[in-house]
Amino acid sequence: MSIINGIIQAPVSIADVRTVLGETSNDLATLCKSEKINMWAKFKPVELNKPFTSDEFDFENRKWRDNATWFKGADFEGVGICGIKIAHSSTLQSLTELYDKGQSNWSRVKVGSTFACPYRLSDFVGYKHAATAPFKRPFVTSKTNENGSVFATMMIKSLGTENELTLQEFGKLSEAYFGLALKNAAGQIAYFKTSDKPLKDGGTSVEMQGMIFATGSYKAYIFLCSRALAFNIPPVQATTYYTIHDFRPSAVEIVSDAQQMHDYFSIKAREDIRGRVIVEVEIKDNYVRTSNNENFYIILRFATSELGSPMLVGEQAFTFTDIEAGTKYTHIFSGLKAEQRYKIEYTFMTVTQEIYIIELNPFINQLK
């Protein structure tokens, strides 16, 4: 058997192919069109109007030469290469609809499916049945605030992966730009942007930031684009958009700054029997401290004071410093004026809000 570590070696035989694919047929045409062929294998049967490819074979080392190109096959409609047809569209909106309709996955171009061409047993030399896609499923931010950012990234396979395809071998696709689009509840694209570098130069991430997002629920779509797109600026020239195989639109929730902030803490303020105000802050486990949110500021304010206004005589301030996730903090304000009503104003993560104090029943307060 000419199979080493799951890779078919030269000289290849029908039996080798049958074994690796798990097929029963001895017919070469049937094997070349088998549904079991892994399209991510670099060397596999492809459509190519050429009876032999031995001129690209290194007989001394019994492997394909480093400069071999036959495995790229015919260029199918400009977007089919390496025996794979890539889902694409001429507009971004219609590309997102391919995802919505479940038509975004790439597919293998079977030999003879688009034009008559030879079936070559030698195409199986170097075939790796366990090959994987040249990229990992992209990651997209799932929740952010209106002044935050939405980030997307994708890991791609490095060069030199034995007998497996890399994006560099897809020609035009390696020159494409990695992009992100957000569709609103009405199904329209509200935001879009691509990386400023093509994939081949490391452009595998994109971030939307520096603007105020409209709050709401969105669907995120990852795409590849033949041109770089600045934020929400449509191209002026013909552009091709490509899907990412096996990606599914993901949910992105954009909330107000106040909503986002409350994901990380809770705060309560109550009056005790001595007429003091007790403020309790609980920092949740998902909080991550950074240089601009390491402190929690609270102010005991008169109920009539406007939010964010300068402090008045008789109002008090306190700061919980270097706060940590999963920790509870308490501060007691005393020396309150009996004739005044109070509230608590607090600032955290650059957002200022206020809460009212849970007061004791006035009849209970009379008990001394």
The residue extents of the domains of the chain are 3-80+108-124, 139-257, 260-365
Q: What CA–CA distances, in Å, run from 46 to 10, 76, 234, 264?
A: 18, 11, 36, 54
Residue that has been written with the tokens 């109007």 in this structure: 49
CATH fold match for the domains 139-257 and 260-365? yes
- pTM of structure: 0.75
Q: Which of 289, 298, 239 is nearest to 95 (CA)?
A: 239
Q: What gap in Å lies between CA 160 and CA 217, rounded to an integer?
A: 41
pLDDT at res. 116: 85
Q: How confident is the model at residue 78 (pLDDT cuts 50, 70, 90)?
A: low
Q: Which of 26, 52, 31, 58 is nearest to 126 (CA)?
A: 58
Q: Which of 76, 85, 84 is nearest to 115 (CA)?
A: 76
Q: What gap in Å lies between CA 255 and CA 146, rounded to an integer?
A: 6
81: tokens are 């290469």
Find the range with the poorest average confidence among 31-40, 269-278, 289-298, 355-364: 355-364
pLDDT at res. 103: 97
- Burial status of residue 207 (CB atoms within 10 A of its CB: 0-12, 13-18, 19 or more): middle
pLDDT at res. 146: 86
User: Is residue 186 scored above 60 in pLDDT?
Assistant: yes
Query: How do residues 38-73 score in pLDDT, each as one tens digit?
Result: 999 999 999 998 999 999 999 999 999 999 999 999
Q: What CA–CA distances, in Å, run from 143 to 55, 148, 168, 351, 360?
A: 54, 9, 33, 18, 39
User: Is residue 9 scored above 50 in pLDDT?
Assistant: yes
- Segment holding 363, helix H or strand E: helix 362-365
Average pLDDT, the chain: 91
pLDDT at res. 159: 67
Q: What fold, for 139-257?
A: Immunoglobulin-like (2.60.40)
Q: What fold, for 260-365?
A: Immunoglobulin-like (2.60.40)
**Helices in 187-329 by DSSP H: which ranges?**
257-261
- The percentage of the chain sitting over the pLDDT mark of 90, rounded to a whole number, equals 72
